[in-house]
Structure 1
Amino acid sequence: MNRPEAIIPAGMEAVYEKIRYAPAVKVGNTIYVSGQIGRDAAMQLVEGREAQMVQAFENLQLVLASAGASLSNVVDLTTFHTDMRDLSLFMQVRDRYLTTGPLPAWTAVGAHMLGGAPGYIVEIKAVAVLPD
Structure 2
Amino acid sequence: MKKRALFPVGSEASSAQIKVSPGVVSGSHVFLTGMTGSRPNGTMPSSLEEQFHRAFEKIGETLQEAGLAFDSIVEMTTYHIGLRDHFDTFNAVRSQYVDDPYPAWTAVEVAGLRREGAVVEIRAIAAIEAN
Alignment of 1:111-130 (within 5 A): 111-114=110-113, 116-130=114-128
Corresponding residue for residue 70 of structure 1: 69
Corresponding residue for residue 88 of structure 1: 88
Equivalent residue pairs, number? 129
- Once the 2 structures are TM-superposed, how far is the Cα of residue 40 of structure 1 from its aligned partner? 1.6
8 Å contact from structure 1 (residues 15, 23) kept in 2: no
8 Å contact from structure 1 (residues 37, 55) kept in 2: yes
Instruction: Tell me how large the CA RMSD over aligned residues is.
Output: 1.1
2: CA distance, partners of 1:53 / 1:20 = 24
8 Å contact from structure 1 (residues 40, 46) kept in 2: yes
8 Å contact from structure 2 (residues 34, 122) kept in 1: yes
Q: What is the CA deviation profile of residues 49-108 of structure 1, one whole-angstrom value per residue up to 9, with x for unaligned ones? A: 110001000011011111111100000000010011211111000001113x41000000
Corresponding residue for residue 3 of structure 2: 4
Matched, 1:25 2:27: no
Q: TM-score, normalised by structure 1?
A: 0.92
Alignment of 1:91-102 (within 5 A): 91-99=91-99, 101-102=100-101
2: CA distance, partners of 1:15 / 1:35 = 14
1: CA distance, partners of 2:74 / 2:86 = 23
Which ranges of 4 or more aligned residues in structure 1 deviate by more than 3 Å? none
8 Å contact from structure 1 (residues 15, 22) kept in 2: no
Unaligned runs of 5+ residues in structure 1 are none
8 Å contact from structure 1 (residues 50, 89) kept in 2: yes
Alignment of 1:50-61 (within 5 A): 50-61=49-60
Helix, strand or coil for the counterpart of 2:96? helix
2: CA distance, partners of 1:15 / 1:46 = 18
Q: TM-score, normalised by structure 2?
A: 0.93
